[in-house]
Amino acid sequence: MNRQSSVVRIRESNMEAGKRSSTIREGFLVKRGHVVHNWKARWFVMTPDKLLYYKYEGGRRDSNQRGKILLKDCVITCPFLEYENRPLVFKLQTKHGASHFLEACSREERDEWAADITAAANKLQKGDGGSKVTDQEEPDGSQLHNINLSKVLDSMYDVHSGIKMSNHVEQGNTYSNCFSGSAVVDWLVFMQLVLTRVEAVTLASALLEEGFLQTVGLRSVEALRTAGFGEHLMDDSTALYSFSDSLKKRGSVKAETSLSAVELSGKVIKRGFLMKQGHRRKNWKVRLFVLRSEPAFLHYYDPTTDDISPAGGFSLRGCLVSSLNDNGVPSGVKGNIQGNLFKIITQLDTHYFIQAPTQQEKMDWIDAIRLQT
3-state helix, strand, coil in the chain (%, to 5): 25, 30, 45
Residue 208 CB coordination number (10 Å): 21
Q: Which domain holds residue 304?
A: 263-370
Model confidence at 185: pLDDT above 80:
yes
DSSP at 308: S
Q: Which one of 203, 218, 249 terminates a domain?
A: 249
Q: Is residue 220 part of a domain?
A: yes
Looking at residue 137, its pLDDT comes to 54
Tell me: do 298 and 340 sit in the same domain: yes
- CB-CB contact of 10 with 23 (8 Å): no
Tell me: do 14 and 96 sit in the same domain: yes
Tell me: do 20 and 78 sit in the same domain: yes
Per-residue pLDDT tens digits for 139-155: 454 455 567 888 888 88
Looking at residue 152, its pLDDT comes to 87
Tell me: do 186 and 86 sit in the same domain: no
Per-residue pLDDT tens digits for 32-63: 887 677 888 999 999 999 999 988 766 667 66
Average pLDDT (168-196) is 83
What is the separation of C-alpha 234 from the centre of its chain, rounded to a whole number of angstroms? 21
Looking at residue 146, its pLDDT comes to 64
| Nearest by Cα to 182 from 81, 173, 154, 168 | 168
Q: Phi and psi at residue 221, in whole multiples of 5°?
A: -60, -40
Per the model's pLDDT, the better-predicted residue between 235 and 162 turns out to be 162
Tell me: do 211 and 292 sit in the same domain: no
Cα(91)–Cα(217) distance, rounded to whole angstroms?
A: 40
Q: Is residue 362 part of a domain?
A: yes
Looking at residue 17, its pLDDT comes to 43
Tell me: do 157 and 116 sit in the same domain: no
Looking at residue 299, its pLDDT comes to 93
Looking at residue 131, its pLDDT comes to 45
* Proportion of the chain above pLDDT 90, given as a percent: 25
> Of the segments 118-122, 157-161, 309-313, which one has the largest average pLDDT value?
118-122
Q: Is residue 141 part of a domain?
A: no
- CB-CB contact of 33 with 39 (8 Å): yes
Q: Is residue 43 part of a domain?
A: yes
Average pLDDT (321-346) is 83
Q: Is residue 36 part of a domain?
A: yes
Which residues have C-beta within 8 Å of that of residue 7, sequence separation ≥ 6?
Answer: none
Which residues have C-beta within 8 Å of that of residue 98, sequence separation ≥ 6?
Answer: 69, 137, 139
Q: Which one of 224, 249, 274 terminates a domain?
A: 249
Per-residue pLDDT tens digits for 301-326: 998 886 677 888 999 999 999 998 87
* Tally of structural domains, the chain: 3
Model confidence at 76: pLDDT above 70:
yes
Looking at residue 282, its pLDDT comes to 82
Average pLDDT (349-362) is 92
Per the model's pLDDT, the better-predicted residue between 135 and 242 turns out to be 242
Looking at residue 18, its pLDDT comes to 46
Q: Is residue 280 part of a domain?
A: yes
In sequence order, the β-bridge partners of residue 292 are 268, 297
Q: Is residue 304 part of a domain?
A: yes
- The chain-wide mean pLDDT, for the chain, equals 79
Q: Is residue 273 part of a domain?
A: yes
Query: Which amino acid is it at 306?
Result: D
Model confidence at 176: pLDDT above 80:
yes
Per the model's pLDDT, the better-predicted residue between 130 and 278 turns out to be 278
Tell me: do 240 and 283 sit in the same domain: no
Cα(141)–Cα(50) distance, rounded to whole angstroms?
A: 18
Establish whether the linkage from the previous residue to 48 is cis, with ω within 30° of 0.
Answer: no
* Proportion of the chain above pLDDT 70, given as a percent: 79
Q: Is 112 exposed, middle or buried (0-12, 13-18, 19+ CB in 10 A)?
A: middle
Q: What is the CATH number of the domain that holds 171?
A: 1.10.10.10
Looking at residue 60, its pLDDT comes to 67
| Nearest by Cα to 93 from 104, 105, 80 | 80
Cα(164)–Cα(152) distance, rounded to whole angstroms?
A: 15
Model confidence at 199: pLDDT above 80:
yes
Q: What is the CATH number of the domain that holds 288?
A: 2.30.29.30
Average pLDDT (231-243) is 77
Per-residue pLDDT tens digits for 101-115: 999 998 889 989 999
